Structure formats: structure tokens, C-alpha cells
Amino acid sequence: MPGKNLSRDEAQQRASILAVEGYQVRLDVTSAPDPAAATFRSTTTVTFRCSRPGAATFLDLLAPAVHAVTLNGRAIDPATAYDGARVHVDGLAAENVLTVEADCAYSRTGEGLHRFTDPVDGETYLYTHYEPADARRVFATFEQPDLKAPFGFTVTAPAAWDVWSNAVHDKVTEEGAARTWEFAPTQPISSYLTAVVAGPYHVARDHYSRGLADGTTLEIPLSAMCRKSLAQYFDADEILGVTKLGLDFFHEEFDYPYPFGKYDQAFVPEYNIGAMENPGCVTFREEFVFRSKVTDAAYEGRANVILHEMAHMWFGDLVTMRWWDDLWLKESFADFMGSYGLIGARTRYSSAWVTFANQRKAWAYRQDQLPTTHPITADIRDLEDAKLNFDGITYAKGAAVLKQLVAYVGSEAFFEGARRYFKRHAFGNTELGDLLGVLEETSGRDLKAWAAAWLQTAGVDSLTPQVTTDAEGRITELAVLQDGTVLRPHRIAIGLYDRDADGSLVRTERIELDVTGNRTVVAEAAGRPRPALVLLNDDDLTYCKIRFDSESLETLRTGLGDIHDELARALAWSAVWNLTRDGLMPARDYVALVLRFAGQEGNIGVLQSLHAQAKTAVDLYADPAWRGEGGRQLADGALRELREAVPGSDHQLAWARFLAQTAGGAEHLGLVRGLLAGSARIDGLDVDQELRWSLWLALAAAGQAGDEELAGELAADNTASGKRQYTQCLAARPTAEAKAAAWSAVVDSDELPNALVEAQIAGFALPAHRDLTALYAAPYFKLLERVWAERTIEIAMRIVSGFFPRAQTSEQTLAEADAWLDGHPQAAPALRRLVLECRDDLARALRAQACDRA
């Protein structure tokens, strides 16, 4: 397979003959503050064994220039050895030392070594991000997870900077205007987990100690860092407090001491994912440093990510999947442990499972109904497949299935299996069978059938209650009907709900049972009074879509907000949203539920989800003839709830942001402008900088924000965040010129960093501007293969998904997507997957519109 890709077969062949003993990587980034300097010097020396002397192999490297290649003292001509993606060598010995000297490129896409210059003070910052295969943009490497090795880094940087890597630094040497940092060798880790962070970061330090069973004490230095210009907003005490609670919890549950020495957490600019579990040097997107007031859901989300990445120190870093087929061995576990740990570590975020049920599983349900869905253990042929597999199946569905597994085998058996797994495979690589083996040992259950049903098949089942009653209103039979391509075993709880004296819907009975096959009779329910609501999968034990019988659905229409338990209420909200997405509930009915009951919703994370889903329902799922009315109803509801919300509360802030997203009429936009000018006031609402940008975006999208006004706001907030939001506002203006400029900035040039690519696309693609963007549908389909060939995969993915004409919900657009897919059968599989997924979203919107119209 030529080019930048790497196939599974190639990786297996390379691993079959090589064993890597260690890397020494030297980087010189003293040129980084000079914006004209495009490259840095990278020198890699790798020591490895070969079981077939005389064989040939290759290292992976993406670099503008290779200056020297030396194998066992023999110089090899780079012009013949390097093909732009691989360094080829032959005549291997049993023991080998290979050195590659290259110029590697600074990145603006978040892939490799990303360089950022702060507009506030002109300071330059660097950080690396590699998963799944971008270490090769920084140094020559065997870029596959099963060729683990110790890595030693030496980094020469400007003298005013600090430098971090996975291990502690052994020595720092001053050399005039530069300092050289030498780091101790790491434990054996995969190349994608290595890290370098460099720059004049603001740093907060702490320490963690824990007594171990052998009488020794584990000492872990802690640090958290961000750009200097964000230091005033950096709540390091909160971040490090969650960190220490997490370390306590994981040591108690995993019984394996944290193996990577120190624990640094860097919050870095223009990051293209949420966070990355580099052992000893975790990186996070700096949007987790909150410049303005955010709701408690944002703090909970950050804490969840901190624990998610910490879980990876064991699931993924200590024990790593052999190839990306078993990516779930780390991501599903980390996603599960993020929520499980928020409760188990005794953080203040006691509603973690509510958030999981309402948000994470919504992601999984969407992904699992696409035509490109796949089993949790996927067939990953190459690196492009791997890149697209960081999805809702691998993360959220996998986590939900693990929650089902814990219910199936018991929590003690589950965690004892994890303890044996870590001790048995420490610093090694594993596959599905390795984990199932220890869980079978600890639980005494045969998990092969469970794994076949849950891990090796795709799709989501639907469970529907079927209730018959006698003349006195007592249940004669309650059955659970299962529908799906695979009928799986489900351990579920069924909640029977009725109104109490206060009018709340409360659970009066809970029945737990195994559901198998297409119809399961619930014997325990017979003879009980017919409840107002039958809630399947109460307590959210399994992974499924739940439906309702007609009487239960009518109860929800009149009283969804009256469900007392917040998890049960979140499950009901999730279920009616799935009905809407599936074209079984008209979008306007869902909007009516939100407008009627969202004001009663106590969980702020659920409320914010309802806002996003109601907006999607109007923009994409409603009959176009009703869309305008639906939008007005949302804006009126947002304004009403904003005025009624408790002053200064999270709910008040959430409704203010929702008003900014929905404002369209004169009354709404007049209030928006008044809040910006200070001539209007909502008691308790602090119109801080982030909220100001949300309000400006509303005015820009309505054509009521002038160039000078937006430029003035940027001058007042000349920060990275300000530049990103200013860019989005410009692209959001409802003019042909604004859309053309945004399109050209992304499509015709690769100069923009990833953060501004996102901003341009977000402003361009507003659903309200579908008439303006309609003319870009045809050019979109023409540029796909060029973009895929010319851009890095990260940027190409954003362009392909972001510019897809999803707001053009018409049969014509669907036909154009089908024509491209039919006419390009040989296009890159990963590109076809993205287009096919967008096409499926469009087809779903058309089905939902037909339901709403009817």
C-alpha cells in the first residue's frame, strides 16, 4: 500500500521479524519562535533486533527532508531510501542500530508538533499529538502499537522555555540562547503515546503520595499548565483535586501502582480532540480552561475527561491493543471509567450516569444506526480506517456494553479481572481473548456467547413493552418485545411509575430480569395495577433504544417533566428523541415536549442536550413549511424561560445561550443587541466575554452585525478564542460574499490552523442560510477526492463532513450524494465512509420531515 497509509498486514509482517529495544530522539526547536521557520531538526536512533538477518524493513516518517540514514555504521543514500513516507533499509543484522536525521515540519493542524503563537503577548507554544499515527511527523519510528519500546527524548529549545515529555528530565544544560533538556527513558510504550510540550507555559504544581501494600510509598509529582495569558482563569486547584481523587480511586480498584512516575496535565491551544492519554504528560484542549461563566455540566465534563485519560494509564498505556481492531480495549474502558470514576472517586458530580445515559449514549445510538456501523471489535484494515474508528461505537457503545457486562458478571469479578489483566500483560499488547480470559476466570461465566452478541455484531436493539389488562385495570400480561438485526441477551430493570400525592411520577415497582429472543414475558408483573408509565431499561443497565406502549407515551406527553428521578427522566427524554430521529414522533411534537417541560428540568446537562436536540428538530427534522413557526416557538420559549430562571443560575445562562442560538424576530434580536450595549438587563445575567460572542453570532447570522462592530469586539478580545469566534461571525453573515470568502479560505488554501478551519465551516454551514449555501452542493462533490489527496486526514475529515450540504434536505441533494457514491467506487474507503454517513443523515432528515408533515 503506497503513500502515507499503513496496512494491518504490513504491520503484522513487520512485527513478526522485529523487536525494538529503544529509541533516542533528539529535537531542536529553537527555530519555533520565528514564524518564517517551517521546520525543526529531528534525529532518531533506534536499536532493534531482527529474527531474519538479511531481511529488509522500513521506518515511518513524514518529513520535508531527510539528510542522513545510517544502518549499523553504513551510510545509506536518503534519495533512494526515503520515499516521502517511509525510510527503507535492507540487509538487516540480528542486532541493529539505525539513525535518521531529518527536517520535520511544524504543524498548524494539530497533527505532529503543533506550533501556536499567542496573539495576546506574541509567545510561541508547542505540543505534540500523534494518535493514531502522527509520531512519524516528528521523528522516524515504527508507527504501530505493538512495537513498544523505551523512548528517551532530548529537546533543545529557547532558553526562556520549559519542556516536558513522558518521563522526568535528568539534566538541563544552558547553551547561550537555548537550553537542552534530557529526559529519562520511558517505560516501554507505543510510539503514538510519546509526547513533547514546550513553551513559556504557566505551571501549577502539587504532589500525590500513597502507601503501598509492600510498605513502600508511591510518590507522584503533579503539575497542570496552560498558556501564560490564560493563567488568570486557570482553576488548577480544582483540576489537581480531581486528579488526586482519581489516583486514589484507580489505585483502590486496579491494585497496580501508577507506573509512569510523574503526572503532568497540559491544556494546549488549537487542540483537535478533547484530550490524549500520553503517559506522564496528558494533553487537553484548552477550552477546558474556562474564560467566562460556564454551567456545572462543563465542570463535570472536564472532570470526566480527566478521569477518562487517567484510566488510560492502565487501559491503553500499561496494556495496549496489538492493532487498532481492538481500539475498544482502551477507549471503551476509559469512557466507562470516566463516568464510573466520577461516582466511585467521590467527586461532587453525582449525576454522572445521567449524563452518560443522555449524552454519551445518544452519540452511540446515532453511530450505530448508520450504514457504516461496525462491531465494537472492528475490522481495521489500515490507518485511515483507524482514524475514523474513534467514534460513538468504540467509545460510547463500548462503554455502555461494559456497563452491561458489570451487571452481568458483577462488579467485583469485573475489577478482579482487570487486576489480573494488568499484572499479566503489563507493558505488553493484547487482543480480545486476553481480556475475556481473565474475566471468565474471575466470574466463572463463559463469555464467548456474550462477546459474540455484544462485541462482534453491530446495531442497536429496540425494546418495547406490550401490556394487556383486564376489566379492573390489572395487568394480565406484560411482555418485552425485542426488535433488531441481532437479538441479544439484555439484563434490564423495568420501572412501573404512578403519581404520588404531590403529582410526581414515582417508581412504585422495580422488576429486574433477563430479556432474550424477540418476546419475553415478565411474569412478576401479572396481577399488578396498570401503571401510568412502564419504563424499560430503568437504571440504564443495558444498551438499547426503548419504546413505549400507547398509554405510557400519553403519560409522557402530559407529564414527562413530572418524573421525579433524574435518571428515569433522562431515559424518557432520550427515548422520545430517538422516536423523533426515527421518524416515529413528529418533530413538532418533540419541540412541544421541550417547550412544555424543559423549564422544569433540574439537570443542567440534560437541559443543554434538550436545547441542542430541539434546534436540530426544527432545522432538519421538521416539515419545511412549519420550520419558521417552530423556530419562533423555540425563541419565544427561550426568552420566556430566560426571564423566569433563577438569577445567576446555570439554567439562566443556558437559556441565554439558547436564545442567542434561536433569536430571529425583532423582539429577540432587540434584546440581544440591548444586552450587548448594556441598555437591556436580565437580573443576575453576567454578559461576559463568551456570552458576548454568542450574542454577536446571533446578530451576525441575522445580518445585523456590522464589520466595524465585529472588529471592535475582536479588538477588545484579541485572544485566540476571540479570533476564532470573530472568524465564525464573519462566515455566519447572510451574504453571498461572506459564504464565498469562508468557502475559499478553507478550500483554496491550507494556511488556516485547524481551529480557524472549524470556525469558518461552522459559520458557513448555518442551517438558516440553506438558500445561500445551496449553490455549493455541486462544487462540494467535485472537490472531495482532491481534498482527500492533498490535505492531512484531520483537515480532510473536517472539510468532507463540515461542508456536506446537510441543510439542503431535498431529494435532489440525496440524488447528488448517491451519484457521487455510485460514480466513485474506487475512492478511498475512509472518504466513502464519511460521505455515506452524511448521506444517511440526510435521508433520515427526509424521513423525519415526512413524519412531521403527516
Please identify every residue annotated as catalytic.
Answer: 309
DSSP class of residue 106 equals -
Tell the residue number behind the cell numbers 501549577, with chain if given: 204
Rounded to an integer, what distance in angstroms lies between the CA atom of residue 393 and that of residue 627? 32
Strands (E), 406-544: 429-430, 462-469, 475-483, 490-499, 505-515, 519-521, 533-538
Under 8 Å between Cβ of 675 and 705: no
CB atoms inside a 10 Å sphere around CB 95:
12
Rounded to an integer, what distance in angstroms lies between the CA atom of residue 106 and that of residue 112? 8
* Residue closest to 128 by CA, chosen among 268, 255, 231: 268
Residue 402: strand, helix, or coil: helix
Rounded to an integer, what distance in angstroms lies between the CA atom of residue 313 and that of residue 327? 15
* Residue closest to 280 by CA, chosen among 173, 183, 203: 183
Under 8 Å between Cβ of 300 and 206: no
Residues forming a β-bridge with 457? none
Rounded to an integer, what distance in angstroms lies between the CA atom of residue 56 and that of residue 713? 59
Rounded to an integer, what distance in angstroms lies between the CA atom of residue 246 and that of residue 341? 7
Q: What distance lies between CA 46 and its chain's CA centroid?
A: 33
* Residue closest to 263 by CA, chosen among 216, 214, 312, 200: 312
- ∠ CA 162-164-165, nearest 5°, is 155
Is the N-terminal amide bond of 531 cis, ω within 30° of 0? no
Under 8 Å between Cβ of 186 and 152: yes
Residues forming a β-bridge with 22? 47
Tell the residue number behind the cell numbers 428515569, with chain if given: 568
Helix H segments across 432-586?
432-443, 448-454, 550-559, 566-581
Residues contacting 838, CB < 8 A, separation 6+: 800, 801, 804, 806, 817
Under 8 Å between Cβ of 463 and 544: yes
